């Protein structure tokens, strides 16, 4: 069992330290992460410039550093460092990764979705905390460590069911014992833009997301309102095959007019 | 009808010039694009640094430039430049955007998916060509222009069916008159890594994708093997709700062991 450990927060995140500790003994683990934080890079790949690979020593073990995104990490790890892994675990992210909006933008989840495209199952772990310090020590850290290890071990023992490519695991901001299977909300944040002026008087803009009210029955509600551990199954092959209605009428109109033109 | 025109190839792409020409007269069009090419940035957002906005004049009209990704463009356009549009058109991308692998990584499609999360319908256009020069003039350019205008006009007249958030339109490398509704293949490229040495003898790595054989019935096959125009409907709300099997068994095992621990 070859386990690739990665994240989008870089080598110095306390979430990475927990994840590395959690998988110890469950297989042959290798850690490869972006050399700098790459939050919100989604499934982005670096194709327009080359990548560098370095490594540092941490707890008698190596952490490999890639000068790119979490998705770059997947390909560099597979092709340069360790060969194809049997499982990718990603995180533990500082901040939740709930809702379609956040799932598709998250680098933590981007890594496991990119691995899923390569046929490698993955588990993304995220904790609904505001700062890295909350994962540095204490009861809450122990809770995250214990459940991360448990989920990873059982996923290895049982395997993911056919058709499920990855699990998106989100921890509430409090210690919890209840685990629920969730579907993602569409949206988690209302995005606004803050305008400021630099010392020269020229404008610059910050993107900023304010939480919106969580709808019942969604991953956001389960974690943030009910305080439960949420597991959302992710499927790559079905991701865009489940459009609920047909576009036949629309396309027929296009076909008719195309025919007239030609 | 307020139309936001964007892309991921930046202001100087001939694909953008075609798209701007195609939507002329169909509504009040405003063009906002990344100031530099941002291919393969997916739905990535810039949250760790501020953004700048500039504008240039092109054909008696403005092109607004954002120092970020296509997804950043959506939020800057909506919040700073033009207000919420009624439709986003993105492209015309130099190169196809076929398969789940490419759809989730594409900046061109990232823009329309990000708009879809905000409730704004979108159409992404991509041409299966190898270089910008192929879109600069001639019969092929006219074909792309004509069909892009037709698809946009009919989408505006008819609206997208409820549940369809965006259309992913891909043009084959030859002039075509047949339009098919497609489902995305999972994978389009086999990704490898090319290792080189810099003048100092230190290694660097290029990610590189080699096309794999197209499966019949997929978007890749329709465009690249059959030479047809492919339209794939994309749905944001169903994107991760359609996992074909239950993870109840797996999660029950996790629940049982959690109970033992606590």
Q: Give me the pLDDT at residue A150, please.
A: 97
Q: Give me the pLDDT at residue A240, please.
A: 81
Q: Give me the pLDDT at residue A261, please.
A: 85
- From B110, B163, B242, residue closest to A235, measured CB to CB: B242
- Distance in angstroms (rounded) separating the CA atoms of residues B37 and B69: 9
Selected for mutation to probe chain A from B39, B164, B207 (highest A CB count within 10 Å) is B207
A92 φ/ψ angles, rounded to the nearest 5 degrees: -80, 125
Tokens of A260: 């007239």
Q: CB distance B192–A163 less than 8 Å?
A: no
Q: Give me the pLDDT at residue B217, please.
A: 93
CA-based nearest residue in chain A for residue B241: A183
Question: What percentage of residues in chain B have a pLDDT greater than 90?
Answer: 92
Q: Give me the pLDDT at residue B32, please.
A: 98
Strand-pairing partners, residue B168, are: B124, B232
- Where helices occur in A23-106 by DSSP H, the ranges are 70-76, 100-103
**Contact between B79 and A210 (Cβ < 8 Å):** no
- Distance in angstroms (rounded) separating the CA atoms of residues B126 and B108: 8
pLDDT digits (tens, 9 = 90+) for A174-202: 999 999 999 999 999 999 999 999 999 99
pLDDT digits (tens, 9 = 90+) for A55-87: 999 988 999 999 999 999 999 999 999 999 999
CA-based nearest residue in chain B for residue A155: B250
B177 is in an annotated binding site: no
- From B47, B160, B254, residue closest to A151, measured CB to CB: B254
**Contacts with B205 from chain A: Cβ below 8 Å:** 50-53, 76, 80
Please determine, for residue B105, whether its predicted confidence score (pLDDT) is greater than 90. Answer: yes
Tokens of A191: 């995005």
**Contacts with B150 from chain A: Cβ below 8 Å:** 254, 257-258, 261
pLDDT digits (tens, 9 = 90+) for B191-233: 999 999 999 999 999 999 999 999 999 999 999 999 999 999 9
Beta strand extents in chain A (DSSP E only): 2-6, 28-34, 53-58, 61-66, 87-94, 122-127, 166-171, 179-181, 189-197, 203-211, 229-234
A202 φ/ψ angles, rounded to the nearest 5 degrees: -95, 140
Q: Give me the pLDDT at residue B109, please.
A: 97
Question: Dihedral angle at the C-alpha atoms of A254, A258, B2, B7, nearest 10 degrees?
Answer: 100
pLDDT digits (tens, 9 = 90+) for B23-33: 999 999 999 99
Over residues A27-48, the mean pLDDT reads 94
Q: Give me the pLDDT at residue B261, please.
A: 85
**Domain residue limits, chain A:** 2-184+213-261
Q: CB distance A253–B154 less than 8 Å?
A: yes
Q: CB distance B239–A187 less than 8 Å?
A: no
Q: CB distance B154–A257 less than 8 Å?
A: yes
Band (B262; pLDDT cuts 50, 70, 90): confident
Q: Give me the pLDDT at residue B82, please.
A: 94
Mapping DSSP onto H, E and C, the string for B6-74 reads ECCCCCCCHHHHHHHHHCCCCCEEEEEEECCCCCCCCCCCCCCCCECEEEEEECCEEEEEECCCHHHHH
Whole-structure pTM value: 0.95
Band (B239; pLDDT cuts 50, 70, 90): confident
Over residues B27-41, the mean pLDDT reads 95
Q: CB distance A104–B184 less than 8 Å?
A: no
What is the ipTM for the molecules in this complex? 0.94
Q: CB distance B239–A241 less than 8 Å?
A: no
B8 is in an annotated binding site: yes
- From A162, A239, A247, residue closest to B164, measured CB to CB: A247
**Contacts with B147 from chain A: Cβ below 8 Å:** 258
Nearest 5 degrees, angle CA A205-CA B90-CA A116? 90
Please determine, for residue A221, whether its predicted confidence score (pLDDT) is greater than 90. Answer: yes
Q: CB distance A246–B100 less than 8 Å?
A: no
Q: Give me the pLDDT at residue A257, please.
A: 93
Tokens of A116: 């899923």
Q: CB distance B100–A245 less than 8 Å?
A: no
Q: CB distance B184–A241 less than 8 Å?
A: yes
Give the single-character DSSP code of A97.
-
Cis peptide, bond prior to residue B32, ω within 30 of zero: no
Q: Give me the pLDDT at residue B245, please.
A: 79
Tokens of A176: 């919890």
- From B46, B251, B257, residue closest to A181, measured CB to CB: B251
- Distance in angstroms (rounded) separating the CA atoms of residues A219 and A232: 7
B130 is in an annotated binding site: no
- For domain A2-184+213-261, the CATH class is alpha beta
Q: Give me the pLDDT at residue A60, please.
A: 85
CB burial of residue B198 (10 Å; 0-12, 13-18, 19+):
exposed
Q: Give me the pLDDT at residue A46, please.
A: 94
Between B241 and B225, the more confident residue is: B225
- In order, the DSSP letters of B157-220 are HH-PPTT--EEEEEE-SS----EEE-B--S-SEEEEEEEEE-TTS-EEEEEEEEE-PPPTTBHH
- From B204, B234, B255, residue closest to A52, measured CB to CB: B204
Q: CB distance A239–B240 less than 8 Å?
A: yes
**Contacts with A101 from chain B: Cβ below 8 Å:** 117
Please determine, for residue A225, whether its predicted confidence score (pLDDT) is greater than 90. Answer: yes
Over residues A224-232, the mean pLDDT reads 98
Q: Give me the pLDDT at residue B240, please.
A: 81
pLDDT digits (tens, 9 = 90+) for A107-162: 999 999 999 999 999 999 999 999 999 999 999 999 999 999 999 999 999 999 98
Question: What percentage of residues in chain B have a pLDDT greater than 70?
Answer: 99
Please determine, for residue B241, whether its predicted confidence score (pLDDT) is greater than 80. Answer: no
Band (A220; pLDDT cuts 50, 70, 90): very high
Binding site per annotation, positions of A for a divalent metal cation? 8-9, 39, 93
pLDDT digits (tens, 9 = 90+) for A233-253: 999 887 887 677 789 999 999
Nearest to B237 by CA among B158, B166, B151: B166
Over residues B116-135, the mean pLDDT reads 97
| Helix or strand run (H / E) with residue B234 | strand B229-234
């Amino acid at each position: 069992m070859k386990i690739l450990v990665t994240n989008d927060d870089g080598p110095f995140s306390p979430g990475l330290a927990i994840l590395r500790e959690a998988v110890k003994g469950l297989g042959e683990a290798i850690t490869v992460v972006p050399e700098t934080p790459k939050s919100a890079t989604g499934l982005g790949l670096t194709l327009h410039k080359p990548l560098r690979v370095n490594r540092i020593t941490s707890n008698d073990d190596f952490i490999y550093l890639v000068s790119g995104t979490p998705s770059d990490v997947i390909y560099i790890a597979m092709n340069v460092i360790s060969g194809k892994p049997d499982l990718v675990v990603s995180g533990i992210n500082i901040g939740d990764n709930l809702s379609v909006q956040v799932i598709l933008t998250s680098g933590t989840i981007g890594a496991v979705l990119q691995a899923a495209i390569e046929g490698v199952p993955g588990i993304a772990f995220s904790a609904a905390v505001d700062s890295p310090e909350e994962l540095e020590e204490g009861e809450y850290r122990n809770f995250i460590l214990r459940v991360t290890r448990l989920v990873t071990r059982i996923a290895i023992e049982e395997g993911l069911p056919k058709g499920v490519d990855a699990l998106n695991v989100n921890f509430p901001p409090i210690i919890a014992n209840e685990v629920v299977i969730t579907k993602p909300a569409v949206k988690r944040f209302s995005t606004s833009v803050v305008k400021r002026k630099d010392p020269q008087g020229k404008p610059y803009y910050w993107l900023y997301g304010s939480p919106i009210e969580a709808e019942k029955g969604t991953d956001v509600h389960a974690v943030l309102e009910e305080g439960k551990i949420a597991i959302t199954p992710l499927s790559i092959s079905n991701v865009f095959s489940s459009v609920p209605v047909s576009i036949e009428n629309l396309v027929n109109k296009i076909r008719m007019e195309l025919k007239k033109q030609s």
